[in-house]
Amino acid sequence: MSGDYRKMWESIGLDLEAHDQLLQALPPTYGEVYLTQENRPAMDYFDFVVNEIHGLRIQELQDHKAAGGKVIGTFCVFVPEEIIHAAGGICIGLCSGIEIGSAQAEKVLPRSVCPLIKSFMGFKLARVCPYFESCDMVVGETTCDGKKKAFEILNDYVPVHVMEVPQMKREKDRLLWKGEVGDFLAGVEEVTGKRVTAESLARSVREVNGKRRALARLSGLRKNSPAPISGKDSLLIEQIAMYDDVERFTLKVNQLCDELEQRVRDGVGVHSPGAPRIIVTGTPMAIPNWKVPHIIESSGAVIVAEELCTGLRYFENTVPEDSESMDQSLEAIAERYLNINCACFTPNTGRMEKLVSLAGEYNADGIIHCSLSFCDPYMIEANRVEKVLKEKGIPMLKIETDYGQEDVGQLKTRIEAFLEMIS
Amino acid sequence: MLSAGIDIGSRTIALVVSNGKEIVQSAVVDTGFDPVKKAAEMAAGLPREVSVTATGYGRHAAKSGFAGQIITEIKAHALGAGHLFPGARTVLDIGGQDMKVILLDEKGNVEDFQMNDKCAAGTGKFLEVMAVAMGYGSAGDFGEDSLSGVPGTRISSMCTVFAESEAVSLAHRGADRRDIGRALHVSVIERAFGLIERVGGDLPLVFTGGVALNPCIVQLLRERIKGPVLVPENPQLVGALGAALKGLGKK
Ligand code: SF4
Ligand code: SF4
C-alpha cells in the first residue's frame, strides 16, 4: 500500500494490531497466486485496487462519509444495489473470504458453521475490516438458516436491516419479495436521509446495468479458445465488482475487454490451446478466497466461467430500463433479482438448466462443484446438479472445502485426476 | 524399451522398471525422513536411458527434481491394475494414509473415482495403530490372527483415536482379541464399501496397496461385495507399475 493510512484506520475504530496481522497474511498470497501467471492481459488497475484494498478505497469511503454520504454493507447478491446508489449511498459487498477472528466468532457461534458466516462475524468482532467499520448499516437476508440466525447476533454490533428472501418463486413469493424491495427502499432512505426519485432510480439502474454489461462482455470473451484471460483474473475482477466505484470500475472492465478482443483476434490465450476448459459452480468465493481456482489453473486447466455469486449470478440479466414510474422500476428490480438461481430456493431447477447451457456455450470439458463445509444448501443440491449433468454426459467433480490449507494436497490430487480423466 | 515408475507414498516408496509386458526390476522401501531425497537416490541407480514417471503425493517434488513426467495415483493405479487384470472394472487401493476407489470403463479408462477424507480412518495407518493397541508385533500378524475372529463384536467409531479406546475397553471387559480384531477390520471394510458404492462398484474388482496383503481384509471384502477380489502378487507395486507403463505411452 502506498500511503500511510494508520491514522485513518485508527479513526474508524480498527484494532490496529489485529489489522497488521491480517495485512501480513494477504500480500504474499496475492503475489503467489496472481503475479506469477504468464501472459496476463493488462491488469494494472485491478492489481492496484487489490493492493489498495484497505487504503485508497477506504479513503474514498471516508471522504464520502465526511460529505454526508452513507455506506451500506451487504452479504448477498439479492440485495438491490441500485436502490442504495439512487439514495446517494455506496454499496459494499462485505467479503468474508478468509479465516480471521475465529476465536472471537466462536464465542457467539457454534463451531460447525460455514466459514463464510464465521468469517464475517470474526471480522466484525475482531474489528479488522475497514469496510465493515465504515458501514452505517448492513443488510442481511433470510437465505440460509446460518446467515439468518447469525444476523440476529450481528445486530448487537451493527444495525442490520434484514430482507425476507422467499424460499420459492411462485406468484405470491414475487409479491412478498416486491414488498421487501419497497421496504428496503424506505430503510435506505431513512439511513441516508435522501429521497429516492423516479429519476435517480432510473439513472442508478442504468449505471448498475452498465457494470453488469461490462462483466457480461468480459465473460462472453472467455467463450473463445484459447481463453484470453485466466479464470483467476476474471474471478478477481468479479470480486472487486462488489466494492469498487461503479462507474470507474465499469470503464476499466470495458478497457480490459478492448484488449481482450484484440487478443481473441490475434489468437492469444493464457493457457495452451488444448487446456481443459472448466466451469466452477457452488458457493460464493469471496475475496481473498482463490484456493480452488488456483489449484485448478496451476494443474493445467483454464476456468472459463463461474456459476457463482462472485460470478455469473451477480451480473447476468439486467433490469429493464424503460420503466415509467417508481413503482414500475421497483417491480422490474424485484423481478431481476428474484431470477437469481440460489440453492436456498426450492426447487432450484433453474441452476441445473443454466449449468447445462453454460457447458455448451463455453465449450466446457467439465464442471467442478465447490461448496464450503457446513453449507447445507449447496452441499445437498450438489446431488441434483450431479444427476442432471450425468444425464447430459457432462463430467463433474464435487469438492467440499474451507478456508484452511490442510487439504490442498488432496484437492490437488483429486483435481489433477479429474483433469486426466476428461482430457 | 524400459521405463521406470516411482510411487512416492506417505509410508513407502515403490519403484518398478517395466518393458511393457512384465516387471523387470522392483523395490519397496520405507519413506524415512526425506522421501523425495530417497526417491531421487533410487532413481539415480537406474540406467540413464530409462525415463522416470513419478506418482504419489511426492510427485510434484519429484517433477522439479528427477522425474520426466508425473501422473496422479488415480491414473497410475488404473493403468497398473488394468494391465495386470485386463477387464477390471473397479480398483480399490488402500495405502498407508489413504483409500481410493476407481471405476474403469470397458477399455480401462478412468470413469469416476472417490477418495477418503483427510484422515487416517480406514487406512493402513489405522490398522497399524490397532495392531499395536491389541498387542501384536506387526500388522501382518494382526490380520492373520483376526481371520479366526467370530462376528458379533462391533466397533462403532471410524475415528482412529475413538476406535482405539473402544477396542481397548472391549479387551478390558474380556472380549477375545481376535473378535475385536475382526471388528476393527470390518470397520475398514465398511468404509471401503461406502466408497465402492458411491462409484457404482462394477465387478471384477482389483484390490491394490499394502493393505491388500492383509488376509483378513481380503476375506471380509469378498464377503461384503459378494464377489471375487483380485489381488495382484505385489499389490504395493501397482501404482509404480502404472507410472512405468505411462512412460511407455500407455493411456
Ligand atoms: S449463495 Fe445465495 S445466499 Fe449466498 S450470496 Fe448467493 S444468492 Fe445470496
Ligand atoms: S455458503 Fe452456504 S451456509 Fe454459508 S452463508 Fe452461503 S448459503 Fe449460507
Q: How far apart are CA A204 and CA B95, in angstroms?
A: 59
Which range, of A19-23, A41-45, B89-93, B195-199, averages the lowest pLDDT?
A19-23
Confidence at residue B156, expressed as pLDDT on a 0 to 100 scale: 87
What confidence tens digit (pLDDT) does each residue in B6-35 have?
A: 999 888 999 999 999 999 999 999 988 899
A420 neighbourhood in chain B, CB within 8 Å: 71-72, 74-75, 110
Taking CB atoms and an 8 Å limit, are B74 and A407 in contact across chains?
A: no
Residue A2 scores a pLDDT above 80? no
pTM given for the model = 0.93
Among residues A197, A230, A247, the one where a domain terminates is: A197
Tell me, what CATH number does A254's domain have? 3.40.50.11900
On average, the pLDDT of chain B sits at 93
Same domain, B146 and B251: no
Q: Give residue A120's domain range.
A: 6-197
Domain residue limits at B245: 1-85+234-251
Residue range A139-157, pLDDT digits in tens:
999 999 999 999 999 999 9
Give A417's contacts in chain B (Cβ within 8 Å). Answer: 72-75, 110, 113
Residue A329 in any domain: the answer is no
Contact A294, A33 (CB under 8 A): yes
Does A88 lie in the same domain as A102?
A: yes
Instruction: Write a three-state SS string for A390-405.
Output: HHCCCCEEEEEECCCC
Side chain identity, residue A154: L
B109 touches chain A (CB under 8 A): yes
Q: Which of A309, A299, A307, A224 is nearest to A262 (CA)?
A: A224
Beta-carbon separation of B115 and A413 below 8 A: yes
Q: Which of A116-120, A279-283, B116-120, B155-159 has the lowest mean pLDDT?
A: B116-120
Amino acid at A312: L
What are the backbone angles phi and psi of residue B72, rounded to the nearest 5°?
-75, 165
Decide if B110 and A416 are in contact by the 8 Å CB cutoff. Answer: no
Output phi, psi for B227, to 5 deg: -170, 175
Give the pLDDT confidence of A14-58 residue by residue, as tens digits.
999 989 888 877 656 888 999 999 999 999 999 999 989 999 999
Of B111, B113, B115, the CB nearest to A410: B115
Query: Is pLDDT larger for residue B95 or for residue A382?
Result: A382
Task: Indicate whether A73 and A169 sit together in one domain.
Answer: yes
Query: For A78-129, what is each residue's pLDDT tens digit?
Result: 999 999 999 999 999 997 899 888 889 999 999 999 999 999 999 999 999 9
Of the residues A176, A197, A218, which one is the last residue of a structural domain?
A197
Spatial contact of A345 and A372, defined as CB atoms under 8 Å apart:
no
Determine the Cα–Cα distance for residues A285 and A311; give it in Å rounded to an integer. Answer: 9
Q: Is B115 in Cβ contact with A406 (below 8 Å)?
A: no
Q: What is the pLDDT of residue B65?
A: 86
Distance between Cα A365 and ligand 2 center (Å): 27
Q: Is residue A333 part of a domain?
A: no
pLDDT at A27: 52
Those residues whose C-beta lies under 8 Å from the C-beta of residue B83, and which sit 6 or more positions away, are B241, B242, B245, B250
Question: pLDDT by residue (tens digit) across B208-220?
Answer: 999 999 999 999 9
Average model confidence (pLDDT) for chain A? 95
Please tell me the total count of domains within chain B: 2
Chain A: closest CA distance from residue B73 (Å): 8
Q: Which residue has its alpha carbon closest to ligand 1 atom 5?
A: A76
Q: Is the CB–ligand 1 distance for residue A340 below 6 Å? A: yes
State in Å: Cα A147 to ligand 2 middle.
7
pLDDT band at A298 (very low <50, low <70, confident <90, very high): very high
Domain endpoint, select from A181, A197, A213: A197
Report the CATH number that the domain containing residue A184 is assigned in CATH: 3.40.50.11890
Assigned domain for A323 exists: no
Nearest to A2 by CA among A67, A61, A47: A47
Q: How far is CA A19 from CA A97, B123, B194, in A?
A: 15, 42, 45
In angstroms, the CA B154 to CA B177 distance is: 12
Q: Is the pLDDT of residue A59 over 60?
A: yes
Q: Is the pLDDT of residue B120 over 80?
A: no
- A13 domain-assigned: yes
Summarised one tens digit per residue, pLDDT across range A335-380 is: 999 999 999 999 999 999 999 999 999 999 999 999 999 999 999 9
pLDDT in tens, B64-84: 888 899 999 999 999 999 999
Query: Residue A30 contacts by C-beta under 8 Å, 6 or more apart in sequence?
Result: A50, A51, A288
Give the per-residue pLDDT at B118.
62
Per CB distance under 8 Å, which residues of A are interface residues toward B? 406-407, 409-410, 412-414, 416-417, 420-421
Number of domains in chain A: 2
Peptide bond before residue A288 is cis, with ω within 30 degrees of 0: yes
| pLDDT of res. A272 | 84
